[in-house]
């Protein structure tokens, strides 16, 4: 091969539906045991472009702990019910609903010279028909000032910004629906 030959990446292929059988593992959506002090339920529905619930998507979440610390502990694949690792994976049920047991993330420490980001949970979505996973964020709705000063949120127009902010439930949990296309499409991030 000559030095002038340009290699191009292999195109992506649809990511499912086989993953529903290979990727889930015991307690994958429990970042800590349900009912633990400070635990909350994060839930929502994943919708396609026609507004129909997707029954076989998989979501992965990453987040800091309640103090804003990025956790660097092992134990994500073998849950012990006590170790918070900040990572989880959850399959969407037949109704299109996902659920995680986690904590409200705290704000991470700001980078010197930059505004602090509002607390958020990072999400990756795998679903049928997607050639690559999608990335988004779930922001907590509680601190209007932090949301207004967040670098990502402040770069979006108000209608698009709303698609990244969860609703606080009466029990203290969070609801965050994901719309892959169409009206109210969730803002997705490109890390290229």
Q: Where are the domains of the chain?
A: 39-179
Of 46-50, 135-139, 173-177, least confident by mean pLDDT is: 46-50
Distance CA 151, CA 134 (A): 20
Percent of the chain's residues with pLDDT above 90: 59
pLDDT, tens digit (0-9, with 9 covering 90-100), for 104-134: 999 887 777 776 679 999 999 988 888 889 9
Residue 145 has pLDDT above 70, yes or no: yes
Task: State mean pLDDT over 175-187.
Answer: 96
Name the CATH architecture for the domain at 39-179.
Sandwich (2.60)
Phi-psi category of 35—alpha, beta or left, where left has phi over 0 and alpha has psi -120 to 50?
left
pLDDT, tens digit (0-9, with 9 covering 90-100), for 34-89: 999 999 999 999 999 999 999 989 999 999 999 999 988 777 778 887 888 899 99
Q: Of 25 and 17, which is predicted with more confidence? A: 25
Check residue 16 and give its pLDDT.
56
Distance CA 23, CA 125 (A): 13
Contacts 24+ apart (CB under 8 A), 49-53: 49/180, 49/181, 49/182, 50/182, 51/179, 51/182, 51/183, 52/96, 53/95, 53/96, 53/97
Q: Of 51 and 3, which is predicted with more confidence? A: 51
């Amino acid at each position: 091969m000559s030095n002038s030959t340009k290699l191009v990446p292999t195109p992506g292929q649809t990511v499912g539906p086989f993953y529903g059988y290979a990727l889930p593992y015991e307690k994958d959506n429990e970042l800590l045991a349900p009912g633990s002090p400070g635990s909350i339920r994060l839930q929502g529905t994943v919708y396609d472009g026609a507004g129909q619930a997707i029954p076989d998507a998989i979501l992965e979440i990453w987040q800091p702990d309640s103090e804003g610390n990025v956790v660097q502990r092992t134990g994500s694949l073998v849950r012990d019910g006590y170790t918070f690792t900040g990572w989880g994976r959850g399959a969407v049920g037949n109704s299109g609903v996902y659920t995680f047991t986690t904590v409200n993330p705290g704000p991470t420490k700001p980078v010197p010279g930059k505004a602090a980001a509002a607390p958020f949970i990072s999400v990756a979505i795998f679903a049928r028909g997607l050639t690559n996973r999608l990335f988004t964020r779930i922001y907590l709705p509680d601190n209007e000032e932090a949301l207004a000063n967040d670098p990502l949120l402040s770069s979006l127009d108000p209608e698009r910004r709303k698609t990244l902010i969860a609703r606080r439930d009466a029990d203290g949990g969070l609801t965050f629906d994901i719309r892959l296309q169409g009206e109210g499409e969730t803002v997705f991030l490109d890390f290229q």
